[in-house]
Amino acid sequence: MTGAEVGPVEVLTFRAGYNTGVVMAGAAALGAAAGGVGTFLLLRARAMAADAVGHATLPGIVLAFVAAGLLGADGRSLPVLLAGAAATGMLGMAAAEALTRSTRLAPDAAIAIALSVSYAIGIVLLSWVQTLPQGSQGGLESFILGQAAALSASEAVGLGVAALVALAVLLALFRPFGLLCFDEDHARARGWPVARLDAALLALGVLVTVLGLQTVGLVLVVALLILPAVAARFWSERLKGIFWLSIAFGAGGAFLGAAASAVWPRAPTGASIVLALGAVFAASLLAAPRRGIFAEAFRRGTAGWRLRAARALQAGRGYPGAALVGWRRGGRPTARGAAAVARLELWDRCLAESPDALPAGLAWGIDPLPPEALAQLGRRNR
């Protein structure tokens, strides 16, 4: 990477140089893999475990650097550092699991302990290593917040390919993972190797975490795993939909964040990527038509009014605002107002006769009754 600043347009259209383009593509592949794995981690409620892994990688990175140096190898070789990261990352998670299983500690407390203690160990090791002659040139602290500028083209290609392999494995195991996340008891009863599937999912999580260390940094890599999946959840009610949307969000966010890092080389890549993903999340939270908070607030806010207005109309009275929405005119209900009252009366009957025929999630008295509930009403009358 040259020291001169490159314009955003050049960067986004892959005209800022081979290195930059490859790094951005690698980041996109990584984001895609993180989005995919993150979907299942989220549904399996293992997001915090991913955070523990991320933080526990720091001691491993430092130790791998020192060990490589002692053995005469290149301490800054990325595969070496990532191998060390993976080793201690898994140790940290294993420690959290062991704490949960052997004491009465709740999982989140155990993870918090493993996460913070291993990270602290890493920080201490890091400051010690930087007093060593070769340590200060290690650039190891770039693993904390991510520095895509430090990636060479070949390293980026390696990461990208590994990420795509992880994604391929995930696709192959899509159905077993889906079953595991939805109904563990059923899977166990049917003889599926639940423990091994869990281990495979976490192994994929560790892999993606470790791949993301150089780009996003260990502190924020959990966000790369979780944010795309959470944002995708707002838009789809199907597992496949959430999965592919999460991959798209992850790839897009990582791509934009890496691009930002190319335009402003001193900006920490990890933060740029997470901000991009955070924006996607915020947009989803606000704008999603069914699960977004605006939609929810509107539904909830009007539900009380609509119920009270319909009741008032049913009793032959007026209600503030009824004329405004066209439910009442000239002191009597309009066709729409009468329809609202009719709906309310169907609800009265349904709740009195067969309340169990109702699905969850309906606004009582307001939403149209589903056909199966109406059918039950008819049946009772015969």
Residues that bind other proteins (CB under 8 A): 43, 172-173, 175-176, 178-179, 181-183, 185-186, 188-191, 233, 236-239, 241-242, 354, 356-361, 370, 372-373, 375-376, 379
Closer residue to other proteins (CB): 112 or 203: 203
Is residue 329 within a helix (H) or strand (E), and if so which, with residue range?
strand 328-329
Cβ at position 373, least distance to other proteins in Å: 7
- Cβ pair 255, 28 in contact under 8 A: yes
Cβ at position 184, least distance to other proteins in Å: 9
Query: CA-CA distance, 218 to 142, in Å (whole number)?
Result: 9
Q: What is the DSSP letter of 120?
A: H
Cβ at position 97, least distance to other proteins in Å: 18
Closer residue to other proteins (CB): 14 or 174: 174
Closer residue to other proteins (CB): 74 or 372: 372
Cβ at position 168, least distance to other proteins in Å: 12
Query: CA-CA distance, 307 to 298, in Å (whole number)?
Result: 14
Cβ at position 104, least distance to other proteins in Å: 10
Closer residue to other proteins (CB): 68 or 232: 232
> Which residues in 208-245 are b (16+ Cβ under 10 Å) and which e?
bbbbbbbbbbbbbbbbbbbbbbbbbbbbbeebeebbbb
Cβ at position 90, least distance to other proteins in Å: 24
**The pairing of beta strand 328-329 with beta strand 332-333:** antiparallel
Give the dihedral sign, CA 278/280/285/291: negative
Closer residue to other proteins (CB): 73 or 171: 171
Closer residue to other proteins (CB): 188 or 332: 188
